Amino acid sequence: METKTLSIPNISCGHCVMSIKKELGEMEGVAKVEGDPASKSVTLEWDAPATLEKIKDTLKEINYPAAD
């Protein structure tokens, strides 16, 4: 299981976090998604077949790209 916290500058409210949780939660392999609008970050836990690259691609698709 891999864990990573990503900075997501586009997060502005709890609704943003819920959108991210919904989309990433549907990905096969993603075990946990927790977001914090105050710190504009999302903490993730995942296993294969999910990858950090796939997660970042999905975030980009839903208009919440991760800051590098």
pLDDT digits (tens, 9 = 90+) for 36-58: 999 999 999 999 999 999 999 99
Q: Which of helix, strand or coil describes residue 43?
A: strand
The answer to whether residue 10 scores a pLDDT higher than 90 is yes
Q: Distance between CA atoms of 68 and 51, rounded to whole angstroms?
A: 16
> Residue 68 pLDDT more than 80?
no
**Structural tokens at position 64:** 């919440």
- pTM of this structure: 0.92
Average pLDDT of the residues of the chain = 96
Tokens describing residue 65: 């790209």
What CATH number was assigned to the domain covering residues 2-61? Answer: 3.30.70.100
**Do 66 and 56 touch, CB atoms closer than 8 A?**
yes
